[in-house]
Amino acid sequence: MAKRILLAGILGGIALFLWGGLSHMALGLGEIGVQALPQQQSTVDAMKASIAKSGFYFFPHGDTSRNLTPAEANGPWGILIYHPTGASFAMSHLLVNECILNIVQALLAAFLLSLATGLGGYVSRVGFVAALGLLATIGISIEYWNWYGFPANYTAATVADKFVGFLIVGLVAAALIRPAPARIEAVVTAKAA
């Protein structure tokens, strides 16, 4: 079973990576809800002058107790991921990291699928893995929409992207990971008792 889990994880991860490329480059799901800064140069110049360190910034932050003044409470708010150094990053390095991450995700999904002994049918096994992906993306994307105000169209596109990605992982993993007949018989016997 370990070899099947490993194979399902690697093949499922590669399939997830390929889906990610298709969904972002051909379908544009990664760009939905993302906008360019108006007056980008003056905004970037102001950030360079006032922010020295890379970081995750939330504004307005308020005082040490997180209390906001009336002006802060009624003014703009948001989050900013900021890096003061240049934006020339190696795309190949990011793609390798993403592929490794996708394989790890698919390995975890394949492992969990191997533990779900009551799922005898192919469709139910695919659905199980797709539900894992939906659970994961809801736990991040919907929470970011709720707490940080991520755009609803961006959130919906992200949820759809991850759901379809894990549906694809499920198609691969469910074909390779099947409950052993003895395990199915034990589950059926336990349910009948």
How do the domains of the chain map onto residue ranges? 2-28+89-192
- pLDDT of the residue at 190: 60
Per-residue pLDDT of the chain (193 residues; tens, 9 = 90+): 899 999 999 999 999 999 999 999 999 998 999 999 899 999 999 999 999 999 998 888 877 777 888 888 888 888 989 888 876 677 888 899 999 999 999 999 999 999 998 898 999 999 999 999 999 999 999 999 999 899 999 999 999 999 999 999 999 999 999 876 645 555 556 666 6
- pLDDT of the residue at 68: 85
- pLDDT of the residue at 85: 84
Residue 167: other Cβ atoms inside 10 A: 17
- pLDDT of the residue at 188: 58
Determine the Cα–Cα distance for residues 17 and 100; give it in Å rounded to an integer. 9
pTM for the whole structure:
0.81
138 to each of 101, 105, 134, 148, how far by Cα in Å?
Answer: 18, 16, 6, 14
Residue 107: other Cβ atoms inside 10 A: 19
* Furthest CA-CA distance within the chain: 72
- pLDDT of the residue at 67: 83
- pLDDT of the residue at 8: 96
- pLDDT of the residue at 187: 55
- pLDDT of the residue at 191: 67
- pLDDT of the residue at 181: 63
